[in-house]
Chain A
Amino acid sequence: MTAPISLKGSPLHPRAAIDTRASLLLQDPRTKARNATEKRFRAYGLSAIVVALLALVWLLVSIFGNGLPAFRQTFMTIPVTLDAALLDKGGKRDPADLSKATTVAYGKLLAASLGAEITAKGIDLGGMDAKALAKMISEESPATLRNRVLADPSLIGTTINFTLLASGRIDGYYKGRVSMESAALDKNTSPEQLAMADKLKAAGVLSTSFNTGFMTMPDASDKRPEAAGLGVAIVGSLYMMFVVLALALPIGVATSVYLEEFAPKNNFTDLIEVNIANLAAVPSIVYGILGLSIFINFAGLPQSAPIVGGLVLTLMTLPRIIIPTRAALKAVPPSIRDAALGIGASRLQTITHHVLPLAMPGILTGTIIGLAQALGETAPLLLIGMVAFVRDFPGAPPEGLFDPASALPVQIYNWTQRGDPGFVERASGAIIVLLVFLIAMNAVAIYFRRKFERRW
Chain B
Amino acid sequence: MSLGLLLLVLLALAVAGYVIGRRKAVAQVEGDIRKLHSLPPFYGRITALLTAVPAFFLIAAWLLAQPLFLETKALNLINPAELPAGKSAELVMADVRRVAAGLDMLAARGQDVTPLLASPTALKAALNTAGVVLETEPTPSTLAATAALRSSGDTSRLAMTIAALVLALAGLAFGLSRIKPEYRARNATEQFAMWLLMASSLIAVLTTVGIVASLLFESIHFFRLYPASEFFFSTVWKPQFGGGSQLGILPLLWGTLYVSVIALVVAVPIGLMSAIYLAEYASRSTRAWVKPAIEILAGIPTIVYGLFALVTVGPLLRDYFASPLGLGNSSSSVMTAGLVMGIMVIPFVSSLSDDIINAVPQSLRDGSLGLGATPSETIKQVVIPAALPGIVGAVLLAASRAIGETMIVVMGAGAAAQLSMNPFEAMTTVTVKIVSQLTGDTEFASPETLVAFALGLTLFCLTLALNIVALVIVRKYREQYE
Contact = CB atoms under 8 A, between A and B. Distances in A.
Contacts of A272: 201-202, 204-205
B201 A45 contact: no
A284 B406 contact: yes
A285 B435 contact: yes
A347 B68 CA distance: 42
B53 interface: no
Contact of A255 (B201, B277, B290, B468): B201
A298 B68 contact: yes
A49 interface: yes
User: What interface size band does chain A fall in?
Assistant: 35 or more
A286 B460 contact: yes
B67 A49 contact: no
B200 interface: yes
Contact of A259 (B201, B218, B310, B460): B201
A51 B297 CA distance: 12
Interface string A353-386: 0000000000000000000110111110011010
B311 interface: yes
B293 A53 contact: yes
A254 B201 contact: yes
Contacts of A346: 186, 190
B411 to A, nearest CB: 6
B214 A290 contact: yes
Nearest to B380: A41
Interface in B37-83: 63-68, 70-71
A255 to B, nearest CB: 4
Contacts of A372: 299
Contact of A281 (B343, B400, B444): B400
Contact of B435 (A46, A318, A379, A435): A379
Contacts of A47: 273
Interface string A15-43: 00000000000000000001101100110
A278 B467 contact: yes
Nearest to B437: A383
Greatest chain B CB density within 10 A among A46, A279, A300 is at: A300
A287 B404 CA distance: 11
Contacts, number: 259
A322 B204 contact: yes
Interface in B284-309: 290, 293-294, 296-297, 299-308
Nearest to B301: A376
Given A255-B201, A284-B406, A399-B3, A279 B460 contact: no
A397 interface: yes
B459 interface: yes
A44 interface: yes
A66 to B, nearest CB: 6
Contact of B306 (A299, A397, A416): A416
B200 A286 contact: no
Interface in B2-45: 2-4, 7
A63 B307 CA distance: 8
Contacts of B278: 49
Interface string A217-250: 0000000000000000000000000000000001
Interface stretch (B170-178, B191-199, B238-246, B387-395): B191-199
B253 interface: no
Given A258-B201, A275-B208, A315-B207, A48 B273 contact: yes
Interface of A: 34-35, 37-38, 41-42, 44-49, 51-53, 55-56, 58-59, 62-63, 66, 250-251, 254-255, 257-259, 262-263, 271-272, 275-279, 281-290, 292-294, 297-301, 315, 318-319, 322, 346-348, 372-373, 375-379, 382-383, 385, 387, 397-399, 409, 412-413, 416, 424, 427-428, 431, 434-435, 438, 442
Interface of B: 2-4, 7, 63-68, 70-71, 186, 189-190, 193-194, 196-198, 200-205, 207-208, 210-211, 214-215, 217-218, 269-274, 276-278, 280-281, 290, 293-294, 296-297, 299-308, 310-312, 343, 346, 350, 374-377, 379-380, 397, 400, 403-407, 410-411, 431, 434-435, 438-439, 444, 452-453, 456, 459-460, 463-464, 467-468, 471
Instruction: Enumerate the 3 nearest inter-chain pairs by beta-carbon distance, A residue then B residue, closest first.
Output: A283-B404, A376-B301, A300-B67
15 contacts: A37-B376, A44-B273, A48-B269, A254-B201, A255-B203, A257-B197, A278-B467, A282-B460, A283-B459, A283-B460, A286-B404, A299-B68, A376-B300, A378-B407, A399-B4
